[in-house]
């Protein structure tokens, strides 16, 4: 299986997956997509239904990463999702009212990013070997909180790969800050910037395109790569849990093979929901995908009007991992629906004018699969409260956005097919907002807030979060966003 860029037209350059995972972003600035989508037939489903999560992961990844051997993928999936990192099974399906909540946050950092970032370092190390790469990699990450910690945790002390993380100082929770600032490992660096997530992401993109950096890195026998969800090695592992959930619901006799399953995904960078779309294109009988946004509802507006307009106020919300105005992975959907020429045109317009509009037939095609809803701050709080009071289900702020939007979808369309809702973080990762949603006073001290939420709900605190309190802060630097390049140069100069 080969991969092509979303922005180059005829006479395409194609690359195998190891190259694409090593590279992150294509030379023309586009994102890599598989040339064709592998199809699952009935036989595949029967096989998958009998498997556990690790074997399903190896099976499904094997369809996309055809230059990795079955043994390599099974070893990578076992290291990533085995008992040392995750409980068994790694993902949990809870029935809440008539819906299925897919809890993706039982990994080491209590957020769904672990699902991809625990396995990606293994795929990356293998890719250096497979491509005969002699240079070492420096992974550069812009994060709105959860990616940073999950990437640090995944790459800490990895072989031949270092990692540098930038996060918006005001855009992440205190727990997220502490998680990143206390990360152990010799091969990593964490820096806060004055600005929002888009500033961090734009800064990282500029560094990737920077000629001085390129030259300095060549001299040091280093190259830059990404762990953001623009990297295919991040996206592919996310397809697995959508295929797996469908199989699991069959195994649990909740649905039969062929039954329609709608899916709601709390969305920021559009990576998670795009993985769901690819699962659907593989033949998983997914119906509508509800794209759930918070008050930064650029995607809701796009899905309703066909106009993507990022020229708007940026809000800091209770669901900071979704505070995003440039949803990078939307580019992959636009390519798959509208083709490379139109995709390149939209992206040019977005970068030059901050806006683009898709043709009516493109919007109609997108609407066959997707619909967009958003949840404002007060509805987020009300949803946390009402799910706890009505169903004894404690959700975090991001998941609450999904729960609310799935309810809106059902109310407005009358479509009552089975619904799967992706749950993306442990409620303890955002304990102050959860407590205040439940009408409780919030202790000043964040770890006291964890304990209070635990006393109230009886829900266990993930041990990696409770032990965080005693950890020492290693990284406390805050820089201007204009200084990111300097910071990268400085870190690179300290490597080896
Ligand atoms: C990253 C994240 C999201 C958004 O996922 P995307 O793939 O960027 O759309 C939602 N919730 C949480 C908790 C996250 O960490």
- Close Cβ partners of 455 (under 8 Å, ≥ 6 residues apart): none
C-beta separation of 322 from 293 below 8 A: yes
- Mean pLDDT computed over 367-380: 98
Q: Is any ligand 1 atom within 6 A of the Cβ of residue 266?
A: yes
pLDDT for residue 329 is more than 90: yes
- Mean pLDDT computed over 380-403: 98
Pocket probe mutation, ligand 1, options 154, 268, 426, max atoms within 8 Å of Cβ? 268
- Mean pLDDT computed over 287-307: 98
Residue 173, pLDDT score: 79
Q: What pLDDT digit, counting tens, does each position of 50-60 carry?
A: 999 999 999 99
Q: What pLDDT digit, counting tens, does each position of 97-118 carry?
A: 999 999 999 999 999 999 999 9
From the CA of 425, give the closest atom in ligand 1.
13
Residue 23, pLDDT score: 87
Residue 461, pLDDT score: 96
Ligand 1 center to residue 311 CA distance, Å? 22
Residue 147, pLDDT score: 86
Number of Cα atoms under 13 Å in the Cβ half of residue 3 = 28
Ligand 1 center to residue 173 CA distance, Å? 14
User: Confidence band (pLDDT; 50, 70, 90) for 32?
Assistant: very high
Q: Could you tell me what percent of the chain has a pLDDT over 90?
A: 88
Bridge partners of residue 141, in order along the sequence: 165
Q: Is any ligand 1 atom within 6 A of the Cβ of residue 197?
A: no
Pocket probe mutation, ligand 1, options 270, 294, 321, max atoms within 8 Å of Cβ? 321
- Mean pLDDT computed over 12-40: 92
- Mean pLDDT computed over 132-149: 90
Q: Is any ligand 1 atom within 6 A of the Cβ of residue 424?
A: yes
Mean pLDDT over each residue of the chain, to the nearest integer:
95
Residue 12, pLDDT score: 76
Residue 10, pLDDT score: 60
Q: What pLDDT digit, counting tens, does each position of 238-279 carry?
A: 999 999 999 999 999 999 999 999 999 999 999 999 999 999
Ligand 1 center to residue 288 CA distance, Å? 19
From the CA of 105, give the closest atom in ligand 1.
13
Please state the φ and ψ torsions of residue 81, each to the nearest 5 degrees. -110, 5
Q: Domain coordinates of the chain in residue numbers?
A: 92-107+233-459
Q: Is any ligand 1 atom within 6 A of the Cβ of residue 90?
A: no
The region, left, alpha or beta by phi > 0 then psi within -120 to 50, assigned to residue 402 is: alpha
Pocket probe mutation, ligand 1, options 152, 269, 384, 426, max atoms within 8 Å of Cβ? 269
Residue 82, pLDDT score: 96
Q: What is the DSSP string of 333-346?
A: HHHHHH-HHHHHHH
C-beta separation of 224 from 195 below 8 A: no
C-beta separation of 265 from 67 below 8 A: no
What is the C-alpha end-to-end distance of the chain, expressed in Å? Answer: 36
C-beta separation of 335 from 366 below 8 A: no
Ligand 1 center to residue 268 CA distance, Å? 5
**Local structure of residue 24 (DSSP, 8 states):** -
- Of 136-140, 223-227, 489-493, least confident by mean pLDDT is 223-227
Q: Is any ligand 1 atom within 6 A of the Cβ of residue 429?
A: no
pLDDT for residue 11 is more than 70: no
Q: What is the DSSP string of 67-85?
A: TS-HHHHHHHHHHHHSTTT
Q: Is any ligand 1 atom within 6 A of the Cβ of residue 201?
A: no
pLDDT for residue 446 is more than 90: no
Q: Is any ligand 1 atom within 6 A of the Cβ of residue 229?
A: yes
- Mean pLDDT computed over 76-80: 96
C-beta separation of 140 from 226 below 8 A: yes
Q: Is any ligand 1 atom within 6 A of the Cβ of residue 148?
A: no
pLDDT for residue 496 is more than 80: no
- CA 143/CA 166 separation, integer angstroms: 6
- Mean pLDDT computed over 9-33: 87
Q: Would strands 478-480 and 136-142 be described as parallel, antiparallel, or unpaired?
A: unpaired
User: Confidence band (pLDDT; 50, 70, 90) for 174?
Assistant: confident
Residue 243, pLDDT score: 98
User: Which residue has a Cα nearest atom 2 of ligand 1?
Assistant: 321
For Cα atoms 312, 318, 321, give the angle at the middle one, nearest 5 degrees.
Answer: 75
Residue 70, pLDDT score: 97
- CATH entry 3.30.465.10 includes domain 92-107+233-459: no
User: Confidence band (pLDDT; 50, 70, 90) for 495?
Assistant: confident
**Local structure of residue 459 (DSSP, 8 states):** P
Distances (CA, A) of 103 to 6, 115, 379, 399: 31, 11, 21, 9
Residue 225, pLDDT score: 86
Please state the φ and ψ torsions of residue 360, each to the nearest 5 degrees. -60, -40
For Cα atoms 262, 264, 269, give the angle at the middle one, nearest 5 degrees.
Answer: 135
- Close Cβ partners of 213 (under 8 Å, ≥ 6 residues apart): 207, 224, 485, 488, 489
pTM of the model: 0.93
From the CA of 266, give the closest atom in ligand 1.
10
- CA 376/CA 229 separation, integer angstroms: 25
User: Which residue has a Cα nearest atom 14 of ligand 1?
Assistant: 321
């Amino acid at each position: 299986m080969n991969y092509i860029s979303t922005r180059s037209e005829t006479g395409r350059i194609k690359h195998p997956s190891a190259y694409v995972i090593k590279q992150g972003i294509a030379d023309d600035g586009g994102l890599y997509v598989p040339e064709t989508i592998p199809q699952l037939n009935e036989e595949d489903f029967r096989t998958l239904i009998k498997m556990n999560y690790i074997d399903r992961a190896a099976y499904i990844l094997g369809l996309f990463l055809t230059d990795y051997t079955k043994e390599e993928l099974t070893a990578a999936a076992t290291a990533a999702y085995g008992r040392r990192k995750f409980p068994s099974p790694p993902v949990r399906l809870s029935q809440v009212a008539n819906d299925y909540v897919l809890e993706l946050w039982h990994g080491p950092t209590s957020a769904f990013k672990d699902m991809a970032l625990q396995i990606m370092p293994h795929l990356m190390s293998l890719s250096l070997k497979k491509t005969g790469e002699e240079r070492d990699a420096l992974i550069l990450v812009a994060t709105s909180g959860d990616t940073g910690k999950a990437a640090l945790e995944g790459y800490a002390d990895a072989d031949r790969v270092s990692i540098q993380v930038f996060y918006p100082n005001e855009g992440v929770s205190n727990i997220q800050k502490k998680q990143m600032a206390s990360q152990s490992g010799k091969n990593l660096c964490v820096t806060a910037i004055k600005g929002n997530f888009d500033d961090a992401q734009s800064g990282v993109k500029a560094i990737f395109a920077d000629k001085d950096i390129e030259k300095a890195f060549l001299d040091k026998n280093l190259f830059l790569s990404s762990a953001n969800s623009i990297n295919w090695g991040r996206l592919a592992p996310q397809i697995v849990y959508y295929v797996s959930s469908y199989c699991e619901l069959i195994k649990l006799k909740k649905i039969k093979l062929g039954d329609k399953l709608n899916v709601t995904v709390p969305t920021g960078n559009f990576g998670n929901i795009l993985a769901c779309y690819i699962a659907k294109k593989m033949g998983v009988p997914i119906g509508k995908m509800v794209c759930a946004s918070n008050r930064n509802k650029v995607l809701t507006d796009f899905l309703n009007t066909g106009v993507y307009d990022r020229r708007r106020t940026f809000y800091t919300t209770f669901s900071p991992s979704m505070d995003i105005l440039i949803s990078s992975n939307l580019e992959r959907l636009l390519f798959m629906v509208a083709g490379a020429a139109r995709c390149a045109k939209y992206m040019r317009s977005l970068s030059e004018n901050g806006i683009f509009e898709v043709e009516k037939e493109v919007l109609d095609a997108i609407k066959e699969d997707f619909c967009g809803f958003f949840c404002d701050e007060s509805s987020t709080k009300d949803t946390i409260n009402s799910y706890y009071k009505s169903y004894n289900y404690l959700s975090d702020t991001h998941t609450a956005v999904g729960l609310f939007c799935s309810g809106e979808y059902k109310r407005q369309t009358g479509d009552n097919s089975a619904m799967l809702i992706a749950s993306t973080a442990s409620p303890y990762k955002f304990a102050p907002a959860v407590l205040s949603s439940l009408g409780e006073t919030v202790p000043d001290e964040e770890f006291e807030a964890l304990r209070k939420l635990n006393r109230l709900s009886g829900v266990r605190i993930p041990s990696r979060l409770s032990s965080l309190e005693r950890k020492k802060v290693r990284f406390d630097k805050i820089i201007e966003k204009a200084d990111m390049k300097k910071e990268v140069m400085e870190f690179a100069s300290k490597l080896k």
